[in-house]
Amino acid sequence: METSAFGSLNYFALLIYLAAIMGVGVYFAKRQKSADDYFKAGGRIPGWAAGFSVFATTLSSITFMSIPAKAYTDDWTFLIGQYVAIAILPIVFWFYIPFFRKLNLTSVYEYLERRFDVKMRLFGSMSFMLFHIGRIAIVTYLTALALMPFIDMNPLTIVFLIGVLCIIYTFLGGIEGVIWTDVIQGVMLSAAAILIFVVICFNVDGGIVEIFSMSAQADKYFPAEQFSWSWTESTIPVLMIGFFFASLQQFTASQDVVQRYIVTDNIEETKKALITNAKLVACVPIFFFAVGSALFAYYSQQPQLLPDNFNTGGILPFYIISQMPAGVAGLIIAAIFAASQSSISSSLNSIAACFTSDIYGKINKQTTPENNLKVGRIITVTAGLLGVAASTYLIMSNESEIWDAFNSLLGLMGGPMTGLFMLGIFFRTANAGSALAGVAASIAAVLWVRSATDLNFFFYGVIGTLMVVIVGVLTAPLFKNNKDSEIAEELTVGKRARV
């Protein structure tokens, strides 16, 4: 189908957003005096802002567009995963955060060295960095791919506006700039979802009652067959298990989220961050699914508005461009940019924090906070350019089905990291040797499952995590020494950290 004219008002609204985001980066640039400022904001971030940042970081532009498309074509079952993510937060707060704050970490993987050894720290850090460089490329690429059919903008221009400008404001403002732009972006995401739903309600004959009635008649909420067990399909029991381990990985072993726990002044502010995130996750995703139901009702009543052979994966941007008023459409497209940039900027700063702390800090023992700041900024630009270059390659080569493959690899890389933190924090007998054995067994198990079975990819993270824990506990007596016992005494829940 042909692209629609984006229009001067829409361009103006998009440029206003981009200018505002750049302004935030410039404003906070003057506060970046050391690595502590650049990676931890000097503890100046209020809890509610850190919570908004966690929410915006974990919600990418692909999620923003794919959830309505999922509700439009299928049902609401993936909503279950959002509430599973909320359920793990008490576990995170009670068992994990005390250790992260007690050790005054810059990189969360410092814990792995103190609890096990430097090999586990490097494994966790390098896995995170490689994964997130790839994630930057994929999020940028898929956002450009989703918008290309609907706006008259070159895909490389979209990549530039999302990626390069994101690099600039992250380079300037550090984590403080990233978090406050996340607040703006989180508000835009939430407001856009609510606004789109309200507008569609006015355009559907029968309004909100008819929207939910049509979805109920079509059995598009939680169909009975989705409550059955399956090893290969994403039914509700599988989603609950998969999202539990995926959320545990994000909130306990992923630098981009864990970094938000240490940017506040005290543990009470960190608690506010988790509560704020939980409130947002409880409310906002419902509107994303409701938008999908509203689009289903709208186009069921007016099917002639959809082009022949339309790819329903792009139903949301198609509606925005074709039906929303000029200017308003530009603001909502800006919200899609915001969803992409919030994820990318968090990845960039977190990659820089990991490299500076886990690699550069280990090589150069005499480094200063000022040198760490310079290195952090260099890595921010380097990682960003690698991600942009990779997304440009994907566009030029017209790759397809890459998101599913990338998601399946999360179990391969995320599962072992989650298992390492679980093993270290909960099992006092575990040690460096048994942790290494657990990681090796975990990677081998997930690789075998991916290649030899049809098991649903939600199980990859489960297998990856549990293999580290099981093998790490069972092999611990083979590698035990007195030093391991002394370390475990301080860094497991058996002797809970004070903060």
User: Would you state the pLDDT for residue 290?
Assistant: 95
Band of the pLDDT at 100, cuts 50, 70, 90? confident
- Mark whether 241 and 362 lie in a shared domain: yes
- Mark whether 163 and 223 lie in a shared domain: yes
User: Would you state the pLDDT for residue 153?
Assistant: 80
Q: What is the mean pLDDT of residues 136-146?
A: 83
In sequence order, which residues have a C-beta less than 8 Å from that of residue 70 and are 6 or more positions away?
78, 289, 292
Residue 298 has pLDDT above 80, yes or no: yes
In the block, residue with structure tokens 């279950």: 80
Residue predicted with more confidence, 411 or 150: 150
- Mark whether 349 and 477 lie in a shared domain: no
Inside any domain, residue 406 = no
The residue segments making up the domain with residue 237 are 8-399
Residue 92 has pLDDT above 60, yes or no: yes
- Mark whether 390 and 478 lie in a shared domain: no
- What is the pTM for the complete model shown? 0.90
Distance CA 379, CA 373 (A): 10
Residue 406 has pLDDT above 80, yes or no: no
Inside any domain, residue 16 = yes
Residue 433 has pLDDT above 50, yes or no: yes
- Mark whether 393 and 418 lie in a shared domain: no
Among candidates 40, 59, 42, which has minimal Cα distance to 110? Answer: 40
Residue 1 has pLDDT above 50, yes or no: no
Q: Residue 77 class from Cβ within 10 Å (0-12 exposed, 13-18 middle, 19+ buried)?
A: buried
In sequence order, which ranges of 223-327 are alpha helices (DSSP H)?
236-253, 255-258, 267-301, 315-323
Residue predicted with more confidence, 359 or 152: 359
Inside any domain, residue 3 = no
Question: Which of 76-90, 378-392, 470-484 is least confident?
Answer: 470-484
Token couple for 391: 């997304």
User: Would you state the pLDDT for residue 147?
Assistant: 81
Residue 483 has pLDDT above 80, yes or no: no
Inside any domain, residue 235 = yes
Distance CA 49, CA 275 (A): 11
Distance CA 499, CA 49 (A): 21
Residue 255 has pLDDT above 50, yes or no: yes
User: Would you state the pLDDT for residue 350?
Assistant: 95
- Mark whether 158 and 189 lie in a shared domain: yes
User: Would you state the pLDDT for residue 421?
Assistant: 94
In sequence order, which residues have a C-beta less than 8 Å from that of residue 478 and are 6 or more positions away?
433, 434
Residue 43 has pLDDT above 90, yes or no: no
- Mark whether 450 and 489 lie in a shared domain: yes
Q: Return the SS3 of 9.
A: helix
Residue 331 has pLDDT above 90, yes or no: no
Q: What are phi and psi of 4, to 5 degrees?
A: -90, 155
Distance CA 107, CA 254 (A): 10
Residue 365 has pLDDT above 70, yes or no: yes
Residue 151's DSSP bridge partners are 4
User: Would you state the pLDDT for residue 218?
Assistant: 93
Question: Which of 4-8, 68-72, 194-198, 412-416 is least confident?
Answer: 4-8
Last residue of a domain, one of 399, 428, 449: 399
Distance CA 497, CA 491 (A): 7
- Mark whether 335 and 476 lie in a shared domain: no
Residues of the chain with pLDDT > 70, as a percent, come to 93
Distance CA 183, CA 345 (A): 13
Question: Which of 12-26, 174-188, 291-305, 389-403 is least confident?
Answer: 389-403
Inside any domain, residue 436 = yes
Inside any domain, residue 407 = no
- Mark whether 191 and 311 lie in a shared domain: yes
Band of the pLDDT at 441, cuts 50, 70, 90? very high
Q: What is the mean pLDDT of residues 418-423?
A: 94
Inside any domain, residue 45 = yes
- Mark whether 421 and 443 lie in a shared domain: yes
Last residue of a domain, one of 352, 369, 399: 399
Band of the pLDDT at 498, cuts 50, 70, 90? very low
Question: Which of 179-188, 259-268, 392-401 is least confident?
Answer: 392-401
Report how many domains make up the chain: 2
Band of the pLDDT at 496, cuts 50, 70, 90? very low
Q: What is the mean pLDDT of residues 243-266?
A: 90
Residue 251 has pLDDT above 50, yes or no: yes
Last residue of a domain, one of 399, 434, 457: 399
In the block, residue with structure tokens 């329903």: 312
- Mark whether 197 and 343 lie in a shared domain: yes
Token couple for 322: 């074709």
User: Would you state the pLDDT for residue 14?
Assistant: 87
What distance lies between CA 116 and its chain's CA centroid? 27
Residue 384 has pLDDT above 80, yes or no: yes
Inside any domain, residue 408 = no
Q: What is the CATH number of the domain that holds 98?
A: 1.20.1730.10
User: Would you state the pLDDT for residue 154?
Assistant: 84
pLDDT, one tens digit per residue, over 123-134 is 999 989 988 888
- Mark whether 236 and 119 lie in a shared domain: yes
Residue predicted with more confidence, 434 or 98: 434
pLDDT, one tens digit per residue, over 209-237 is 999 999 999 999 999 999 999 999 989 99
